[in-house]
Structure 1
């Protein structure tokens, strides 16, 4: 009997999306989920030509959750003790132990591998005398994440996989020194109608895949698997779905990519905006430019925030700036509030970076450091001064995607990640005094204290909700403090009321914002109450604000504007 071994290769140390194999994807109409790698295993179990399945991962502590998952799912896994980058060695030790006749290597980040194609390819390979299979030159296909070898073919590949790159990337040794006899086959179906990424290597890829799985299980039974031909049809008819990760740049196996560092801070006084924006910029650099990014962060209170990005947490500001002084990455981005950082120490650090030829980009309110920066990107409609090194405007706002959905008669309250202005103490009382049947949702940020609610309050508190973007998209009226949440609300076409901003922005900026007429601006809670009552009773006022919101963001580019600036700054260095 022919023995065919499928090996799933997976490590949680991905430079672009750490922990991706255990990210959840929907598995039924009720919204229950399974990790990406579970969906891959389920799809392999449907293959008729595979006898044995094993997980190939490494024996470091970071990958222990994968090892635990394999044990829980009765999947064979003996963690590799060798070099963590030696993927070929990691697979070969399994193959030597299992002694299969044929091998299928499965990338652990592709939850749309097609069982029919795997059976089709293996059947053809088994019936031939060749070492591997490939699609005929005339065939275009969506398939990703699979490689097929006979035992003899695998041994040939191992023999020529001697360089670091060929040990790290399956099949790359044959590109450098072709030794494999390939059987060219037709596809098992027509997957040539669209070209699109179906691997999960970035946040955008994950958003795409999560949406694919969500749509499938809205109308399909839990026992089914997502059909790749259905995915192709969805991509053809829905440009919004297509665009989710169409911009992601595939990393080449033979190229060393640039690296970058982002420095930021967060806390009750500082807020969470600088950190969240750093995460967004990290994703953009990885997706558009394949630049590996490390975020260096300092928290006022020492409280860390969960993140899928590569984060180095520093004990204090001095430790953070000391690391900055010694950073060797060719690109450094800084996202600090200048009122909460030692500017002299920061200037000294930037001077050291300049001597090493490192490019330095500031984000947002860093005009005081302009002389020490190569570029200042202000994600705001308002720039305090005009300068050839400054980019600003409505086009620059940095938002993660906000879905398009029908508005609901509800009030959403956004007081920021830390409620730095303390609205949780007084605002609930004002909201409870409003004569309205509209439900009120209060978003409590991850660093914010709980709002002070009366026992009979009708306000519903959502503590750091994962679906915040959906809440913004669906809410007819939003009350927001000044900051990213305000402009996300405007961008989400809500009738938006700015709560008294106090010290968060200067008078000139408020005057400029008022001239845009895209939100209401209150100077006190008493005035905010009056404005909210107007919004609730006057649909024409809500419609006007929503129309103005569309106008101010009609030229919005978001992260693309920042990426274009970085490309120009780095030139051929990327």
Structure 2
């Protein structure tokens, strides 16, 4: 039996990965449906998440808005169930999706991470599962060290429910988990750092929010996918070192993230953990 599977099964826990996706995006509308090698970015991301070695239930969570019908259709084509909920309250949508699929452990992996390395997902889950009951929440984001776009947050359903019950700030509802990691005294929180000892969180950008990000991600898939559909974060780093022109496609946005809009509200995030886009 796969050792990853046996850990979860031995503890009698159901692990649900919730991928939040919607067509509305201020900077790059419909980004999750942009094509890469004949399939959508959402398809490519789910394809990668299916490589996770832990036994998990994948769920795509979108909104009730008609524009997001295409997200549901795409999910079902991939054999992944789709949950539909509130458009703007992603904390509620995440919790309701996790509850609907009877999750004991919930993962938050945003749909703007189509290059996410499934090995990193497994690493974070391994830490969470290693000492059963030790943590309420484990991520690789506080502080972040992996290249941006490998975002993994793992929490118990009870942890997520507590946040859902008490969170009220708009940023807490929009971004799902800030209430948890901003209130470390109320939760048992762990963090996973990149085993290399490197910190590429502000220098390497594998996420999608701008047209340049799409061109970068598309190029990475074109370079690596045919030879190895299960290419890793290390494979991408090696590619960028061999072909720095690819790195430069979206380098101007490296380090740009949503934190920049909320520095006056967030207690645990500093100005050094985000930057304003140059253009």
Give the TM-score normalised by the residue count of structure 2: 0.80
Is 2:76 the counterpart of 1:68?
A: no
Q: Which of these residues, 189, 196, 212, is aligned with residue 190 of structure 1? A: 196
Q: CA deviation at 1:23?
A: 0.7
Tell me if structure 2 keeps the 8 A contact 1:4–1:51.
yes
Count of residues in correspondence between the two structures: 249
Write the distance in 1 (CA, Å) between the matches of 2:82 and 2:154.
20
Tell me, what secondary structure is at the counterpart of 1:167?
helix
Name 1:201's counterpart in structure 2: 209
Residue 551 of structure 1: aligned partner: none
* Residue 105 of structure 1: how far off its partner (Å): 1.0
Aligned: 1:51 with 2:56: yes
Mapping of 1:75-86 within 5 angstroms? 75-80=80-85, 82=86, 84-86=87-89
The structure carrying a bigger strand percent of its residues is 1
CA 1:164/1:49 → structure 2, altered by over 3 Å: closer, same or farther? same
Identify the residue that residue 181 of structure 1 maps to in structure 2: 188
d(CA) in 1 for partners of 2:143 and 2:35? 36
1:60–1:47 Cα change, 3 Å = same
Q: Could you say what secondary structure the match of 1:233 adopts?
A: helix
Q: Is the counterpart of residue 93 in structure 1 residue 96 in structure 2?
A: yes
Q: CA deviation at 1:47?
A: 1.2
* 1:240 has 2:248 as partner: no
For residues 180 and 66 of structure 1, what CA distance do their matches in structure 2 show? Answer: 33
Q: Which has the larger radius of gyration?
A: 1
Once the two structures are TM-superposed, the CA of residue 140 in structure 1 deviates from its matched residue by 2.9
* Equivalent position of 1:141 in the other structure: 146
Matching of residue 166 in structure 1 with residue 172 in structure 2: yes
Secondary structure of 2:83's aligned partner: coil
Asked if the contact 2:256/2:276 (under 8 Å) is kept, the reply is no
Are the counterparts in 2 of residues 205 and 245 from structure 1 also a CA contact under 8 Å? yes
RMSD, aligned CA: 2.5
Residue 234 of structure 2 corresponds to residue 229 of structure 1: yes
Which protein has greater RCO, CA pairs closer than 8 Å, 6+ apart?
2
Shift of 1:141: 1.9
CA distance in 2, matches of 1:137, 1:14: 25
The runs of at least 4 consecutive aligned structure 1 residues that moved more than 4 Å come to: 135-139
In structure 1, stretches of 5+ residues that fail to align are 27-32, 257-287, 291-559, 564-574
- 1:134–1:7: structure 2 CA closer, same or farther, 3 Å change rule? closer
Q: TM-score, normalised by structure 1?
A: 0.41
CA distance in 1, matches of 2:141, 2:181: 17
Alignment check: 8 A CA contact 1:160 1:174 kept: no
* Residues 124 and 140, structure 2, Cα contact 8 Å, conserved in 1: no
Aligned pair in 2 of structure 1 residues 105, 184: CA closer, same or farther (>3 Å)? closer
For residues 29-53 of structure 1, give each alpha carbon's deviation from its aligned partner in whole angstroms, at most 9, with x where no partner exists.
xxxx211111111111111213211
Aligned to 2:267: none
TM superposition shift of 1:74: 2.1
